[in-house]
């Protein structure tokens, strides 16, 4: 075992945090008094890193590509033939690219978000959600006939099997809608066994149509279930978001008339949430998909990852937090608690954005349009005060903590009449598109294999077995 920069013990051959991460292509015995790394005739790669292994005094040249080194190249750095070779150690993937992707680009320092090269601001202003979905999935904005055909196909997949309805009816009246959503998506796997043929692009595309068509229906049924209202069948005359509002809010009227401002707000919110590169749920989709599981169970797994309060579940937590604060004058006191480390400011901070989340800016503007129809949500004043204080305060400035997408979305959702437990379901509908695009990309990437990280084993070496009668208590009792 070797000691890392953090004082922990590391298995020989594992890079300790703070260590150099690199790969060995050409090994040359070098070091004080020895030959240089690139003796005459040897070509230095155009972009490369030079690493000296101080254990062996061997110097390696490591090629770089797009600012990355290949972790598998590290294995070539060995102390001898029996050595496993170096690994990189990166809990929570803080600095590891797990794939090459052409879908979504984020520059977290500049606050830039683009889908397939198009800035999010333009897409949110000029497109419909299904147009953006097509772009994300197929790489190009659709032509008019392509969009018509795509919309038509999705629209004809919005119905769910009557047995799925029955299945959903079985949930307790106060079941969390996200739990209902996740389980029902997984249950679709039992209705479409053909989906297991994930090798066929045609079969995959069919499931993509089904999933994008059905997620609003399942989400709306989960919502109606929590209110004890009968489920509403999809209306194919309406747009994707209008139909969603129809399935949520239609009562006894013969034909539901969606409010155009609210339908457009839903469209914008869906566009903003459609994809966000390798976040926790996208990574889950890729991880589960890499075992060649079918897309229904893979999307269910991704949705489960989304439900956590550090990810998509944060929008629900923001509302709870604003409720807890209660009034504008109590904001400074709350901020002090956050700074003291007692609480997190939900809807603030991001692994990638170290600047204002561009989605939060658009949502803030969308909120104003929604409030013209619904009336102003008084929570907005608390949120604005919270943002104002946080953006000035050294604690948040130093850590580059800015509002993220979840900070203002919940305030809109609440103004629309949703209870907080529905918020993450509203996030999951559009994100299904992103998950499916990541899944397609994974399955078409010849370099990808089943996701299977390594570990740095820190447990016991082999131990002598102790017979039951000779054992002494070493573990604290398990409380129930
Ligand atoms: N409130 C207070 N302090 C925070 C917050 C916050 N919301 N977020 C991060 N910090 C502090 C953190 O305590 C740490 O401080 P120190 O250096 O003194 O230990 C520092 O900032 C760095 O934070 P981190 O936890 O190392 O950052 P991370 O990249 O691991 O976590 C995050 C990112 C989004 C999980 C985190 O910022 C967080 O928990 N935010 C609140 C939950 C939230 O809003 N999540 C939604 C994310 S965006 C949408 C989505 O993913 O679905």
pLDDT tens, residue by residue, 281-295: 999 999 999 999 999
The question of whether 350 is a catalytic residue gets the answer yes
Is pLDDT at 36 greater than 60 in this prediction? no
* Nearest protein Cα to ligand 1, atom 36: 349
**Cβ(433)–Cβ(189) below 8 Å:** no
Kindly report the protein residue whose alpha carbon is nearest to atom 37 of ligand 1: 349
C-alpha dihedral, 190 to 226 to 270 to 157, nearest 10°: 40
Q: How far is the CA of 344 from the centre of ligand 1 (A)?
A: 8
Q: How confident is the model at residue 124 (pLDDT cuts 50, 70, 90)?
A: very high
pLDDT tier at 42 (50, 70, 90 boundaries)? low
The predicted structure's pLDDT at residue 128: 98
**Does residue 249 register a pLDDT over 50?**
yes
What contacts 24+ positions apart, CB below 8 Å, involve 457-464?
A: 457/11, 458/9, 458/11
| Tens digits of residue pLDDT in 199-247 | 999 999 999 999 999 999 999 999 999 999 999 999 999 999 999 999 9
Known catalytic residue at 406 = yes
Q: Specify the ligand 1 atom closest to the Cα of 338.
A: 2
Ligand 1 contact via 351 beta carbon (within 6 Å): yes
Cα-to-centroid distance, 398 and ligand 1 (Å):
13
Among residues of the chain, what percentage have pLDDT more than 90? 84
The pLDDT-based confidence of 44 (bands split at 50, 70, 90) is low
Q: Does 312 sit in the ligand 1 pocket, CB within 6 Å?
A: yes
Residue to probe by mutation, ligand 1, list 340, 349, 410, most atoms within 8 Å of CB: 349
43 confidence band (pLDDT: 50, 70, 90): low
- Between CA 176 and CA 227, with CA 377 as vertex, the angle to 5 degrees is 30
Q: Is 33 exposed, middle or buried (0-12, 13-18, 19+ CB in 10 A)?
A: exposed
Instruction: Please report how the helices 201-227 and 177-191 are oriented relative to each other, as an axis angle in degrees rounded to 10.
Output: 140
Residue 90 CA to ligand 1 center (angstroms) comes to: 18
The pLDDT of residue 378: 85
In the set 294, 357, 406, 421, the catalytic residue is: 406
State in Å: Cα 406 to ligand 1 middle. Answer: 13
Answer yes or no: 445 catalytic: no
> What is the distance between the alpha carbons of residues 253 and 21, in angstroms, rounded to a whole number?
64
């Amino acid at each position: 075992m070797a000691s890392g920069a953090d004082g922990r013990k590391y298995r020989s051959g594992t890079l300790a945090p703070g260590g150099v991460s690199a790969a060995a292509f050409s090994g040359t015995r070098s070091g004080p008094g020895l030959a240089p790394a690139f003796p005459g005739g040897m070509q230095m790669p155009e972009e490369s890193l030079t690493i000296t292994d101080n254990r062996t005094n061997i110097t390696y040249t490591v090629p770089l590509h797009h600012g990355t080194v290949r972790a598998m190249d590290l294995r070539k750095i060995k102390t001898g033939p029996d050595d496993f070779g170096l690994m990189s150690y990166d809990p929570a993937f803080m600095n590891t690219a797990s794939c090459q992707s052409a879908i979504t680009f984020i520059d977290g320092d500049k606050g830039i978000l683009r889908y397939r090269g198009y800035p999010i601001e333009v897409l949110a202003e000029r497109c419909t959600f299904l147009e953006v979905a097509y772009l994300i999935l197929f790489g190009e904005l659709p032509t008019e006939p392509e969009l018509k055909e795509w919309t038509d196909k999705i629209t004809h997949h919005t119905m769910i099997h009557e047995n799925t309805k029955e299945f959903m009816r079985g949930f307790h009246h106060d079941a969390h809608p996200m739990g209902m959503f996740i389980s029902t998506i997984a249950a679709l796997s039992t209705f479409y066994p053909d989906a297991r043929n994930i090798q066929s692009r045609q079969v995959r595309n069919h499931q993509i149509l089904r999933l994008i068509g059905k997620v609003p229906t399942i989400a709306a049924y989960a919502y109606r279930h929590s209110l004890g209202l009968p489920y509403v069948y999809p209306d194919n005359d309406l747009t994707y978001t209008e139909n969603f509002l129809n399935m949520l809010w239609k009562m006894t009227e013969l034909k539901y008339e969606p409010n155009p401002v609210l339908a457009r707000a839903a469209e914008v919110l869906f566009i903003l949430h459609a994809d966000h590169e390798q976040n926790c749920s996208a990574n889950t989709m890729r991880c589960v998909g890499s075992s060649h599981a079918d897309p229904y169970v893979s999307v269910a797994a991704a949705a489960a990852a989304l439900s956590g309060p550090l990810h998509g579940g944060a929008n629900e937590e923001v509302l709870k937090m604003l409720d807890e604060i209660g009034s504008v004058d109590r904001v400074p006191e709350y901020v002090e608690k956050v700074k003291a480390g007692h609480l997190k400011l939900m809807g603030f901070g991001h692994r990638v954005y170290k600047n204002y989340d561009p989605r939060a800016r658009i949502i803030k503007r969308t909120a104003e349009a929604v409030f013209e129809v619904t009336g102003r949500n008084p929570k907005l004043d608390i949120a604005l005060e919270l943002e104002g204080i946080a953006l000035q305060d050294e604690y948040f400035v130093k850590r580059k903590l800015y509002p993220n997408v979840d900070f203002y979305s919940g305030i809109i959702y609440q103004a629309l009449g949703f209870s907080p437990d529905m918020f993450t379901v509203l996030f999951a509908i559009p994100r299904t598109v992103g998950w499916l695009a990541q899944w397609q990309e994974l399955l078409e990437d010849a370099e990808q294999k089943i996701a299977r990280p390594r570990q740095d084993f820190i447990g016991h070496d082999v131990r002598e077995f102790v017979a039951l009668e000779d054992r002494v208590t070493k573990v604290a009792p398990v409380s129930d």
